[in-house]
Amino acid sequence: MRRQVDLVEKIKSYDPDADEDAINRAYVFAMQAHGSQKRASGDPYFSHPVEVAYFLTSLKLDTASIITALLHDTVEDTEATIEQITDLFGEEIAALVDGVTKLNQLELKSESSKQAENFRKLLLAMSEDLRVLLVKLADRLHNMSTIHFIKSEDKRHRIARETLEIYAPLAERIGMRQMKEDLQDLAFGALYPEARDSIVTRMEFLRRQGGAEVERIEKKVSELLEKGGLQPIQVYGREKKPFSIWHKMEMKNIPFEQMSDIVAFRVIVKSIPECYQALGILHAEFHTVPGKFKDYISTPKSNGYQSIHTSVIGPDQQKIEIQIRTLEMHDVAEYGVAAHWTYKQKEKATHEGKQFRWIRELLEILEQTDDPEEFLENTKMEMYHDQVFCFTPKGDILALPRGATPVDFAFAVHSGVGQACVGSKVNGRIVPLKTVLKNGDQVEIITSKNATPSPSWERFVVTGKARAEIRRFTRIAQRQEYINLGRAILVKTFKQEGKEFQDKMVEPFLARLNKKTIEDVFAEVGEGLLGRNKVYETIVGDVLNPPKKKTPFLISKLKKLNGGGKASMPIKGLIPGMAIHYAGCCHPIPGDNIVGIVTTGKGITIHVMDCDTLENYSDNPERWIDVSWDAASQNHSYVGRIRANLSHEPAALATLANVISQELGNISNLKITNRTPDFFELLVDVEVKDARHLNNILANLRSKPVVQSVERYSS
């Protein structure tokens, strides 16, 4: 275990003015508080906070951060209190310790919702002071280094997966590349030990075979730069981490032997002009690899990363990757936000500037949803991405995830711009909103005061912020539709019983219906979650009987679609003797939320609740019938329509038919709607039992290489 004097000396080496007395008091306080507690490894528990604190000294963090690291587990795991911390060390350190403590209280829970709630708390805590995140990352790094002592495999995997999905991307977002790679590699070893051992063995073999070659390339590059009149600070080769190699092999589906950039070479120079001078010298000597040049100096990444990346055909005709940067850029690339955190900075880190814009965007997502798991999904989208850089008409730069569209761009500019978006221009040309943006595109968003987000946008947006905003608007609009529909259903129900319905009649019965507001009752009736009969019975106290008289336009002599008069009906809520039809626009099947629309001379047409055609009947609530699927529906077959986009190659159509057949579906109709030299699109009507049956078919189709895309279709 690190000695007290070692820790103090390390801090004093970069901060001579550090509060030595406070550090010593924190060391002693934490040691006494943890007492005889042991870790899973058998080591004294106090060794953990000391190692966390010592790691933070390597980042040259301020005294408050080091003391927080020493104390970060005392409030949760010992009898120490926040009040004691405040009295002994002041409000600043108490606030930091409290922030880390709140995160730990939900740590290591198996339920995904707990993990999501934990991440919400982390976000809120770090939005107040980024040092909370730095301490938390150091804490996670040391815990991962000793994860092999945990006996439960499930627990090890859960911690490792959380590290890989949340903490490593957070480290990357604040520019701490070294910490990110260490977290990824430790998690990789815990989750896939055999894969990691295999890669390490291969790398050791290559190192033995090609160690001299790396030195030769370093020497060749140094000589070229010096010959060109440039004296670099350092030229060196650096191996990729095992996780990085494995991830690239998985993403690009290539074997280890085809990896050409296991070693990347770095050129460190004194100034920005020398970066471009070095680039010119190297490009003059070596052939460049097309599409492999990136200038992150003129256009930095959102986490502040700056460097020039280029790939060239180097000595012996080998492809090598070279990164060129200044010493300051190198420090930022390795240590991110911590590189800016010198001992002279006594104030909290601010979150202004583009490198912290993502924190504000995640906070906006947090405000858009009450569902922790949806929040976690959207924030993972925000953290996992390669970037493209696009320009506003005024020349401002926005960094977006690769695959982003003008809708993502619009919401990145401002939520209001995204909500009012009706079209877009890219490089002066009007393009569809689902167009994928490329590096350097200039994007102009066309807006309208009366515009609203379309639910269909969710199919192609890639940013968490855009998805959260679209879902929020859809939920609000959908709820209002359900409220209107539910109220109309209740008005009609009461009218059929010869009674007049008024909104205020519901209020005394909210508790009995287990609802908070009248709107909640209307919304659940409209959505089909609360039966109209139950509301009527609760208010009136009498069972709702079917009306004795049919409305004039209901024709009892119409035949039912599924058979004769006494056959079991697959739909509940219909008046006996009425004909039913399934809408050809949305093809409802059991499992869908449905509604019936009365049509003169045709009986009742069954629609899926979110069918666009229902907008035509929004002004005629008296034509809406509250219906649902009956158990008898399981004995029938129904037509679900799908749209598939297949590769134009032999056996593509046979593959589609075989999958549907294997899943016990039956093709009743097929139509090719579009054809190109590479792809063809078709509509397929499939007879299925219910929505789950259709979803199984869709899932199986998506696993086939010839199927580019497939989805349920509604016209």
User: What is the DSSP code string of 66-84?
Assistant: HHHHHHTTHHHHSS--HHH
pLDDT per residue as tens digits for the range 497-545: 888 888 888 888 888 888 888 888 888 887 777 888 888 888 886 444 4
669 forms bridges with which residues in the sheet?
685
In the structure, what pLDDT confidence band is assigned to residue 274 with cuts at 50, 70 and 90? very high
Structure tokens at 598: 């009365």
418 and 461 Cβ atoms separated by less than 8 Å: no
Closest CA to 325 of 131, 134, 168, 175: 175
Give which of 37, 30, 33 is closest to 2, Cα–Cα.
Answer: 30
Side chain identity at 158, as an amino acid letter? R
Q: At CA 111, angle to CA 105 and CA 112, rounded to 5?
A: 100
**Of the given ranges (22-36, 594-608, 678-692), which has the lowest mean pLDDT?**
594-608
Position 125 scores a pLDDT of 53
Spatial distance between the Cα atoms of 60 and 71, rounded to a whole number of angstroms: 18
Nearest by Cα to 136 from 100, 166, 105, 176:
100
| pLDDT, tens digit, 9 for 90 and up, residues 300-309 | 876 678 899 9
Q: Are strands 603-608 and 580-582 parallel, antiparallel or unpaired?
A: parallel
What SS3 class is residue 106?
Answer: coil
192 by DSSP, 3-state: which? coil
645 pLDDT more than 60:
yes
> Within 10 Å of residue 641's Cβ, how many Cβ atoms?
21
**Could you give the CA distance from residue 711 to residue 345 in angstroms, rounded to a whole number?**
54
108-123: average pLDDT: 50
The overall average pLDDT reported for the chain is 79
Range in 6-20, 50-64, 98-112 with the lowest mean pLDDT: 98-112
Whole-angstrom distance, CA of residue 65 vs CA of residue 96: 8
The pTM (predicted TM-score) of the whole model is 0.51
DSSP output for 342-382: -TT--SPPP--SGGGHHHHHHHHHHHH-S-HHHHHHHHHHH
Give the mean pLDDT of 143-167.
Answer: 87
Q: Answer whether 239's CB lies under 8 Å from 262's CB.
A: yes
**pLDDT value at 109 more than 60:** no
Q: Is the pLDDT of residue 281 over 80?
A: yes
Look at residue 543 in the predicted model and tell me its pLDDT: 40
Number of residues that make up the chain: 715
Given a contact cutoff of 8 angstroms between Cβ atoms, the answer to whether 358 and 173 are in contact is yes
- What H or E segment, with its residue span, contains residue 97? helix 91-104
Cα torsion through 521, 522, 524, 527, rounded to 10? 170
Which residue, among 625, 526, 547, 530, has the nearest Cα to 581 in the 3D structure?
A: 625
State yes or no: pLDDT of 345 exceeds 50.
no
- 170, 137 contact by CB (below 8 A): yes
- Measured distance CA(509)–CA(654) in Å, rounded: 58
| Tokens found for residue 308 | 């020039």
pLDDT tens string 374-394: 444 444 444 445 567 788 888
153 burial level (CB within 10 Å; 0-12, 13-18, 19+): exposed
pLDDT tens digits along 421-478: 888 888 888 888 888 888 778 899 998 887 888 888 888 888 878 888 888 887 777 7
- Residue 628: in which H helix or E strand, if any? strand 628-629
Position 43 scores a pLDDT of 87
Residues above pLDDT 90, as percent of the chain: 16
Whether residue 388 contacts residue 420, with contact meaning beta carbons closer than 8 Å, is answered with no
Task: Give the integer Cα–Cα distance in Å for 570 and 632.
Answer: 5
- Strands 263-269 and 319-326 come out as parallel
For residue 698, give both structure tokens.
Answer: 């869709």
CB 36 within 8 A of CB 144: no
667 or 167: which leads in pLDDT? 667
In contact, 437 and 350? CB cutoff 8 Å: no
Q: Give pLDDT tens digits for 346-383.
A: 344 443 444 444 445 554 544 455 555 544 444 444 44
Q: Report d(CA 96, CA 98) in Å as an integer.
A: 5
Instruction: Give the strand order in the sheet containing 443-447.
Output: 429-431, 421-426, 443-447
Highest-pLDDT range among 125-129, 203-207, 493-497, 633-637: 493-497
pLDDT range class, residue 222, cuts 50, 70, 90: very high
pLDDT at residue 127 in the model? 53
Question: What DSSP element (H or E) covers 287?
Answer: strand 287-288
The string of DSSP letters for 109-132 reads -SSHHHHHHHHHHHHHHHHH-THH
Mean pLDDT of 316-327: 87
pLDDT at 307: 93
Rounded (to 5) percent helix, strand, coil in the chain: 50, 15, 30
Band (pLDDT 50/70/90 cuts) for residue 104 is low
Other residues' Cβ atoms within 10 Å of the Cβ of residue 208? 9
Coil/strand/helix, residue 313: strand
pLDDT computed for residue 528 by the predictor: 75
The per-residue pLDDT for 122 is 54
The residues that are catalytic are 76-77
β-pairing verdict for 624-625 and 594-599: antiparallel
Most confident of 116-120, 410-414, 596-600, 603-607: 410-414
Instruction: Give the whole-angstrom CA distance, residue 530 versus residue 520.
Output: 10
pLDDT at 403 exceeding the cut of 90:
no
Q: From residue 600, how far is each of 8, 408, 557, 603 by CA, in Å?
A: 87, 45, 13, 7
Residue 198 has pLDDT above 90, yes or no: no
Identify the helix (H) or strand (E) that includes residue 711.
Answer: strand 707-712
**Alpha-carbon distance 268 to 228, whole Å?**
15
Looking at the predicted structure, is the pLDDT value of residue 277 above 90? yes
More confident residue, 284 or 253: 284
DSSP-derived secondary structure letter, 590: B
Q: Are 343 and 19 in contact (CB under 8 A)?
A: no
Say how far apart CA 496 and CA 551 lie, in whole Å.
10
3-state secondary structure of 172: helix
Least confident window among 48-57, 92-101, 208-217, 223-232: 208-217
Q: Provide the greatest CA pair distance for the chain.
A: 101
- C-alpha gyration radius of the chain: 32
Residue 625's region, left for phi above 0, alpha for psi from -120 to 50, else beta, is beta
Distant-in-sequence, close-in-space partners of 540: CB < 8 Å, separation ≥ 6: 497, 499
* Distance, first Cα to last Cα, the chain: 68
Domains parsed from the chain with CATH numbers: 4-191 (1.10.3210.10), 194-339 (3.30.460.10), 546-634 (no CATH), 637-712 (3.30.70.260)
Rounded Cα–Cα distance for residues 669 and 686 (Å): 7
